[in-house]
Amino acid sequence: MTALFSTTRAWLAATFIVVAFGLTSCATTSTDSRERPPCCREIKSSAPIPDQSLYQLDSQWTSDQGRVIRLGNLQGQPQVIAMIFTSCEFACPIIVNDMKRISDALSPEVQRKVNFTLISFDHERDTPERLLAFRKRMGLPMAGWTLLRGEEDDVRELAALLGVNYRKDARGQYAHSNLITVLNAQGEIVAQESGLNIRTEGIAEKITAAAK
């Protein structure tokens, strides 16, 4: 009887751990998918991926929530993408602020249809934990924002396809293009805006068109 009780208690403990892990997956217990990062939601489109889509890439990326995905996981809604690194001393916080201003320039209806994605250059230092800390520091909500890191070759491949140039200096900082890219729901580039402290009206119009 004692042995049976011990076995049952161990089974219940194991079951509790499995259930608890499932409930905390992707750092949310909510049933509202809008409270999860876009990378943690179900793919909303089953349409064929066009040949020119970035979602043709087979590379794997890790989010600040620790989830490993392919870029194709983001299909189904337009994406506003920029490449940054979390220890950036100047340009990257401005790029992120520009993206927040773009979001604010969209109507509430369009905001619900569009996601924002930040991808790190710094494959060595930008761990999921550092990306999460950056999310908190920049005040980025879970809903609508994905932060990703990848391996060196995958980062270079994606940067080349986006038209982003970058180079690491002796201090570990990166000289890089300041570029914000808009993808349609199938992952095709439909607009780009370069520079810092950009005007948001034009790119907001293009995002609105992509969200229709």
| pLDDT at res. 44 | 58
Q: Which amino acid is at 152?
A: E
Is residue 147 within 8 A of residue 135, CB to CB? The reply is yes
Is residue 73 within 8 A of residue 26, CB to CB? The reply is no
Helix (H) or strand (E) holding 63, with range, is strand 61-63
Radius of gyration of the chain (CA): 19
Helix (H) or strand (E) holding 79, with range, is strand 79-84
Q: Which domains does the chain have, with CATH numbers?
A: 37-210 (3.40.30.10)
In this structure, what token pair is assigned to residue 176?
A: 């890089």
Is residue 80 within 8 A of residue 102, CB to CB? The reply is yes
Count CA atoms within 13 Å of residue 17 on its CB side: 6
Give per-residue pLDDT as tens, 95-114.
999 999 999 999 999 999 99
Give per-residue pLDDT as tens, 45-70.
567 899 999 999 999 999 999 999 99
Strand partners, 116: 80, 145
CA dihedral (188, 174, 61, 113) in degrees, to 10, reads: -40
| pLDDT at res. 9 | 43
Question: Could you list the mean pLDDT of each consecutive 10-residue stretch along the chain, which spans 212 residues?
Answer: 42 37 40 60 72 97 97 96 96 98 98 98 97 98 97 98 96 94 98 98 98 95
**pTM for this entry:** 0.81
The C-alpha atoms of residue 205 and residue 193 are separated, in whole angstroms, by 12
